[in-house]
Amino acid sequence: MQLLKDIVGQRRELEQLKAGEFFGEIPILLIAEIAGKGNIRIESWTEVTEVLGGERLARIVTTTRERISTTRSADALLLMIGATANTSWLPPTLERDAKGYIYTGRDLTAWPLDRESFPMETSLPGVFCAGDVRHGSIKRVASGVGEGSMSIAFIHQYLALTGGPDLTRV
C-alpha cells in the first residue's frame, strides 16, 4: 500500500486500471487521493490480459468487460495482489467463517473441552492460528509477527497443562 501511495505522489503520468472490485480492497482515504490526482486515469472493469517484451517490459494488452483489447506501451506494471484465505483443504472440524478465515479463542462457537480455549487456539485443542488467516486479525506484518510470538507462549502453556514436552528445555 505504501508503494502505491509513493507512486501516486510522483509527478509522472500514470494509468490506473481497475479490474472488478479493485476499489473494495483500498482504504477510502487512498481512493480519495487517487481520484484527486490529475496524472492518473482510471479505467473501470479493465484487465491486463497480456504482458509483452524481450529483456524488459515493453507493452501490455488490456481488455475491457466488452472484450475490446488495446495494446499500449508500458515501462512498468504494478500488481496489487489481494488476499484470500486458502483454507479449504483443512478438516471441517477446524471452525472457519464464511470466507474461510479460522476462528480462534472467544470467536469459537464449537469448543469441545470444559476448559476455556487459549487465545489463538482453534476449535482443534492444541492447534493455534496466527496472522492474516485468523478470523478478526489485523492484516498487517507487525500484528502477524506479534500474534505468532504470542501463540508460542500459549503453546508452552498448553503443553504445561497437558503434560507435553517442556520445550523451554529443548
Ligand X SMILES: Cc1cc2nc3c(=O)[nH]c(=O)nc-3n(C[C@H](O)[C@H](O)[C@H](O)COP(=O)(O)OP(=O)(O)OC[C@H]3O[C@@H](n4cnc5c(N)ncnc54)[C@H](O)[C@@H]3O)c2cc1C
**Which residue of 69, 139, 153, 157 would you call a contact of ligand X, by CB under 6 A?**
139
Which residue lies nearest ligand X, judged by its C-beta?
131
- Angstrom distance (rounded) from CA 157 to CA 93: 23
Q: Residue type for 61, please?
A: V
In whole angstroms, the minimum distance from the beta carbon of 111 to ligand X comes to 23
- Angstrom distance (rounded) from CA 162 to CA 170: 17
Contact 162, 126 (CB under 8 A): yes
In the sheet with 46-53, reading across from the earlier edge strand, the strands are 46-53, 57-64, 69-73
In whole angstroms, the minimum distance from the beta carbon of 129 to ligand X comes to 9
126: alpha, beta or left, given left = phi > 0 and alpha = psi -120 to 50? left
**Which residue of 60, 131, 135, 151 would you call a contact of ligand X, by CB under 6 A?**
131
In whole angstroms, the minimum distance from the beta carbon of 139 to ligand X comes to 4
> By CB neighbour count within 10 A (0-12 exposed, 13-18 middle, 19+ buried), where does 103 fall?
buried
Q: Residue type for 72, please?
A: R
Footprint (CB under 6 A) of ligand X, residues 73-112: 80-81, 83, 86, 89
Decide if residue 162 touches ligand X (CB under 6 A).
Answer: no
> Smaller CB distance to ligand X: residue 80 or 153?
80
Decide if residue 152 touches ligand X (CB under 6 A).
Answer: no
The grid coordinates listed for 159 are: 503443553
Decide if residue 132 touches ligand X (CB under 6 A).
Answer: yes
Segment lying near ligand X (by CB under 6 A), choices 7-15, 57-65, 110-118, 131-139: 131-139
**Which residue of 5, 41, 65, 140 would you call a contact of ligand X, by CB under 6 A?**
140
Residues engaged in binding ligand X (CB under 6 A): 1-2, 80-81, 83, 86, 89, 131-132, 139-142, 144
